[in-house]
A and B are shown apart, each in its own frame.
Chain A
Amino acid sequence: MTKVGVVTFPGTLDDRDAARAVRLAGATAVSLWHADADLHGVDAVVLPGGFSYGDYLRAGAISRFAPVMTSIVEAAGKGLPVLGICNGFQVLTEAHLLPGSMIKNDHLHFICREQALTVENNRTAWTGDFAVGDTVTVPLKNQDGQYVADADTLERLEGEGRVVFRYREVNPNGSRHDIAGITNEAGNVVGLMPHPEHAVEAGFGPDGAKGPRTGTDGLRFFTSVLHALV
């Protein structure tokens, strides 16, 4: 069975939900510890959300130097699928696996809402089960969610189709070009601020077409990577 690693840093919050999402998608979840450089033979890795190292210095800045990250950066360079969610996305930018950075939301408030996204790229390891133009609704909850990058980087991301998700209807944090998620050149590394792992099981997710809390759009991130690995 496919093994998906879920990394826990000190201060990670959403590792349990991410592991649950992996299992609901039909894979085995493997806990990876920040201080252990061994990836235990996993086929893909999820960097979950939270406040690793209390967001001290900058969100994700200290996690990036954890032993497990050295192994992940090396493996990602060889094609290992890596998904960074929220704080995990911040870790990926600090580790230079993805360009740009996140700064405080333009309105300075913590936000927690059900957020609609538009799928812009379904050729990544984590989005193959979507169609371009699909609307995906998953929770968004953060303080430092404003995606920024210089003009050249934004132009390159747009030109190469590396914007994977855009905020739909409302830009909740001032992110450049309404960017909610991006990918690397190879398409194996994806980072996004919203939380697919909180929308994988009816009864616990956002409101969906079938009624309150029926939304399971997030599950397709995790089934996508399983299909990509076959």
Chain B
Amino acid sequence: MGRVVVDVMPKPEILDPQGKAVARALPRLGIEGFTSVRQGKRFELEVEGPVTEAVLAAAREAATTMLSNPVIEDVVRVAEDTGVVA
């Protein structure tokens, strides 16, 4: 089973009210030093077989047509999920 990850973020010039609210709340937990927080979306698209170039192409199409709205959001990543966490 393969998995493709699509990351979508609000465009830099669009105010992100949710991210701002998170940024304001962090100091209440004693977590200091983060000057900005922006909140985006992560989609995980699974397929039966391996992640082929055709699967990635379909994921890219899904990312630009439905998973994001180009007026307010950017697709920042469409990639196979290798399970490695940074």
Chain A bound to chain B = yes
Interface membership of A223, Cβ < 8 A: no
> B15 contacts the other chain (Cβ, under 8 Å)?
yes
CB contact between B67 and one of A57, A101, A107, A108 (< 8 Å): that residue: A57
CA–CA, A10 and B41, complex, Å? 23
Interface size class of A (residues with CB under 8 A): 20 to 34
Given contacts A108-B17, A108-B18, A108-B21, contact A103 B66 (CB under 8 A): no
Tell me which residues across on chain B come within 8 A of A93, comparing CB atoms.
Answer: 71
A158 within 8 A of B: no
A105:B13 contact, CB within 8 angstroms = no
User: Across the interface, do B17 and A101 meet the contact criterion of CB distance under 8 Å?
Assistant: no
Tell me if B72 counts as interface (CB < 8 A to partner A): yes
Residues of B within 8 A of A103 (CB): 10, 14-15, 17, 72
Cβ contacts under 8 Å, A16 to chain B: none
Q: How far does the Cβ of B70 sit from chain A's closest Cβ, in whole Å?
A: 9
Our count of residue pairs bridging A and B at CB distance below 8 angstroms stands at 38
Q: Is the CB of A58 within 8 A of B69?
A: yes
Residue of A nearest to B13 (CB): A150
Bitwise, B5-17 to A at CB < 8 A (1) or not (0) is: 0000010011101
- CB of B25 to closest CB in A, whole Å: 11
B55 to chain A, nearest CB (A): 21
**Option from A65, A100, A146 in Cβ contact (under 8 Å) with B71:** A100
Minimal beta-carbon separation of B6 from chain A (angstroms) = 12
Q: How far is the CA of A93 from the CA of B17 in the complex (A)?
A: 20
Bound: A32/B56 CA distance, A = 36
Q: Tell me the count of chain B residues lying within 8 A, CB to CB, of chain A.
A: 12
Residues of B within 8 A of A57 (CB): 66-67
CA of A167 to CA of B27, assembled, Å: 35
A residues within 8 A CB of B69?
58, 61, 94, 101
**B66 / chain A contacts, CB cutoff of 8 Å:** 57, 61-62, 65
Closest-CB distance, A150 to chain B (whole angstroms): 7
In the bound complex, do residue A106 and residue B71 qualify as a contact, i.e. CB atoms below 8 Å apart? no
Give the docked Cα–Cα distance between A103 and B67 (Å): 15
- Taking the closest CB of chain B, its distance from the CB of A84, in whole angstroms, is 16
Q: Which of B's residues lie within 8 Å of A, judged by CB? A: 10, 13-15, 17-18, 21, 66-67, 69, 71-72
* Interchain Cβ contacts under 8 Å between A and B, 6 examples: A62-B66, A93-B71, A99-B71, A101-B69, A106-B15, A108-B21
Given A99-B71, A101-B72, 18 more A-B residue pairs with CB atoms under 8 Å apart are A58-B69, A61-B66, A61-B69, A65-B66, A100-B71, A101-B69, A101-B71, A103-B10, A103-B14, A103-B17, A103-B72, A104-B18, A106-B17, A107-B17, A108-B21, A146-B17, A150-B71, A174-B17
